[in-house]
Amino acid sequence: MNKIIMVTGGAGFIGSNFIKFMLNKYQDYKIINFDKLTYAGNLRNLSSAENNPNYYFVKGDIASEKDVKSIFEEFSPDYVVNFAAETHVDRSIMDSTAFIMTNVVGTQLLLDSARTNQIKKFVHISTDEVYGSLGQEGTFNENSPIKPNSPYSASKASSDLLVRAAWKTYGLNVNITRCSNNYGPLQFPEKLIPLMINNANNNKELPVYGNGTNVRDWIHVEDHCSAIDLVLHEGVPGSVYNIGADNEWKNIEIVKTILRHMNKPESLIRFVTDRPGHDLRYAIDSSKIQKDLGWKPQIEFSDGLKSTIDWYLSHSEWIEEIVKGDYVNYYKQMYEER
């Protein structure tokens, strides 16, 4: 059976890992990567797929009605997996415009075309951040209230509600996945783990927000990809699936572990002013996908973190190319404000 899967945002961190995962696993699926190539999108992430006859790249904007209509007309995809998004909380605090355009307007335009083109399924890649923040106890399950706290998570929550509405109102076959923090190769080095590896490697300060006791629940990107693959094939129509690996860490513990692995001194750590509205703790209950679809994370955090550090250390040219000058100036501005 030949399936045509349109992956939006496939040049970013998780999307590019997902495309490689799918091309590797299925020889008879065609993957269309529809990506605007923002600062976070990098076609080098997919250089190994370039010559694969089942892989096509089309540059385009999910928030452009013209671009979206034309990609559906040209390829008639059977499935859409929507990764395309603005994804960095700090950037959303500085300016939310692109977050609303891509995450909210863009998702609705995709849903409209998915419906009129009668696709088989729309898988929307969301985040545990839509649930807001936990105290010291408890976990998020699929019935936890949606209480986002940042412009990023509010825009993702809005897109989730639009996806739900497309299911309830028009009967579009949808799934929503809500995953915890991902780590692994090809992540833009503005996010905690690659930023700290890159700074430590360059003997630069490691900026830890607040007192470093905020907790994130980490999952290797490969485990996230295997869960999405399962939801795409076996997810019950209209269902939401949480994805997580029961792997909570305080930020400061992660930073110290990275320094230890890299033989760098803790004196590189610099505690900086806290992020406004900083969510204290995320912890995902993924028992639904484990019970209903038989998914299980495979990668131990200690192994995954070690191989991730090795990957960034051996891909300094990738980091230099993706961060360019813009990134440096952006961070200067953030720190001066704090």
* Residue number, 108 or 181, with CB nearest to ligand TYD: 181
Considering the complex, what minimum distance in angstroms separates the CB of residue 244 from ligand NAD? 10
Residue 26 and residue 81: Cα distance in Å, rounded?
16
Contact of residue 216 among ligand TYD, ligand NAD, none (CB under 5-8 Å per partner type): ligand TYD
Apex CA 243: angle with CA 241 and CA 248, to 5°?
Answer: 145
Residues that bind ligand TYD (CB under 6 A): 89, 181, 191-192, 195, 207-209, 214, 216, 251, 275
* Residue number, 56 or 209, with CB nearest to ligand TYD: 209
Considering the complex, what minimum distance in angstroms separates the CB of residue 216 from ligand TYD? 5
* Residue number, 94 or 266, with CB nearest to ligand NAD: 94
- Of 55, 79, 152, 241, catalytic: 152
CA distances for 282 relative to 14, 110, 141, 212, 272, angstroms: 19, 29, 11, 14, 21
Residue 268 and residue 258: Cα distance in Å, rounded?
12
Q: Which of 92, 102, 108, 199 binds ligand NAD (CB under 6 A)?
A: 102
Dihedral sign computed on CA atoms, order 313, 316, 319, 322: negative
Residues 188 to 217 in contact with ligand NAD, rule: CB under 6 A: 188
Secondary structure E strands in 19-163? 29-35, 55-59, 79-82, 121-127
Q: Which stretch binds ligand NAD (CB under 6 A): 49-57, 78-86, 160-168, 281-289?
A: 78-86
> Beta strand 215-220 with 248-250: parallel, antiparallel or unpaired?
antiparallel
Considering the complex, what minimum distance in angstroms separates the CB of residue 267 from ligand NAD? 29
Q: Which of 19, 63, 299, 334 binds ligand NAD (CB under 6 A)?
A: 63
